[in-house]
């Protein structure tokens, strides 16, 4: 395991890999390998390469800084040292039917939102499918990518920085939202909190073979989702759009939009943008 490098510029060392390992790796638990590096291009790319080489489920890779992070639709996400909490996890949901695996990024959103609320007091909500927001501004992004039977989930949470310093327009940070202790050891506690929530929900969901309703994931996602009850415009490939009321998230994780022509379920994989 690599030890975390001290971040002199921001004065924000994350918890060490050793401390994370002691906190999170338990017999029979999900997390089996926790590594922390000072800098990498993309934690998702790194874990995807290791997944192709047979790395087991339960690996966590944390980076103090990313130089080539990615978001949905190929968007770039660069994080300077100390500005964001960036990490990826490796899952192998082999027993879950492929049609149910679309819940994984939504599950990650639930974990991030709950941990942010618990650890910082900031009321984070979900924008379907995979953004975590505060008062309509983006606090965190989630990207799930597949390699064979493995799925790597990357998460980036903005810790500090003004609005003109953040990686995307319309973003916010924990510091901007007045979170207590948005740096230093608090970042490590937030990381541990997100991973604990991820473990809890992933094991519950896996235990029902991907049934998000029976394990309570569906209900919790809807409770935290700020998209529901709003008028939305969903942009689809080919320039098509769907306008209407975001009515619900169905059992398959699709957003159901009540349009003038009737209910339209849209899948995250088919969506370019939701306004």
pLDDT tens figures, 145-189: 999 999 999 999 998 876 767 767 778 999 899 886 555 557 888
Unique residue bearing structure tokens 């970042």? 187
- Structure letter (DSSP) for residue 167: S
Domains and CATH numbers, the chain: 17-220 (3.30.930.10), 228-274 (2.30.30.100)
Virtual CA dihedral for 171, 175, 178, 179, nearest 10 degrees? 110
Give the DSSP per-residue string, 188-247.
Answer: HHHHHHHHHHHHHHHHHHHHTTT-TTTTTHHHHHHHHBSSTTSEEEEE-GGG-EEEEEEE
DSSP state, 171? B
Peptide bond into 129 cis (omega under 30): yes
pTM beyond 0.85, yes or no: yes
In the predicted structure, residue 127 carries a pLDDT above the cut 90: yes
Instruction: Please determine, for residue 140, whether its predicted confidence score (pLDDT) is greater than 80.
Output: yes
The mean predicted confidence, pLDDT, of the chain is 85
Residues 187, 12: contact at Cβ < 8 Å?
yes
Say if residue 77's pLDDT is above 90.
no
pLDDT digits (tens, 9 = 90+) for 12-27: 445 577 888 888 888 8
Task: Give mean pLDDT, residues 51-77.
Answer: 79
What 8-state DSSP symbol labels residue 262? E
Residue ranges of E strands in the chain: 33-40, 59-70, 76-79, 84-91, 125-127, 131-134, 137-147, 150-158, 231-235, 241-249, 255-259, 262-266, 273-274
């Amino acid at each position: 395991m690599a030890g975390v490098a001290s971040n002199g510029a921001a004065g924000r060392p994350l918890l060490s890999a050793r401390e994370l390992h002691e906190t999170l790796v338990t017999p029979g638990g999900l997390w089996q390998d926790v590594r922390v590096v000072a800098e990498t291009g993309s934690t998702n790319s790194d874990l995807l390469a290791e997944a192709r080489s047979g790395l087991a489920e339960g690996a966590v890779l944390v980076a103090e800084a990313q130089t080539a992070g990615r978001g949905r639709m190929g968007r770039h996400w660069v994080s300077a040292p100390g500005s964001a909490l960036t990490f990826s996890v490796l899952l192998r949901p082999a027993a879950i039917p492929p049609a149910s695996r679309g819940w994984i990024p939504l599950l990650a959103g639930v974990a991030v939102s709950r941990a942010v609320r618990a650890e910082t007091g900031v009321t984070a909500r979900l924008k379907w499918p995979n953004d975590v927001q505060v008062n309509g501004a983006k606090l965190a992004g989630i990207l799930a990518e597949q390699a064979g039977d493995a799925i790597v989930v990357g998460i980036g949470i903005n810790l500090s920085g003004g609005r003109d310093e953040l990686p995307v327009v319309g973003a916010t940070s924990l510091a901007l939202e007045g979170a207590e202790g948005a740096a230093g050891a608090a970042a490590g506690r937030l990381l541990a909190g997100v991973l604990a929530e991820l473990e809890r929900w992933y094991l519950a969901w896996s235990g029902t073979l991907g049934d998000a309703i029976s394990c309570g994931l569906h209900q919790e996602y809807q409770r935290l989702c700020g998209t529901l009850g709003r008028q939305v415009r969903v942009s689809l490939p080919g320039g098509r759009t769907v306008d209407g009321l975001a009515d619900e998230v169905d059992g398959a994780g699709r957003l159901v939009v009540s349009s003038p022509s009737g209910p339209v379920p849209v899948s995250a994989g088919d969506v370019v943008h939701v306004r």
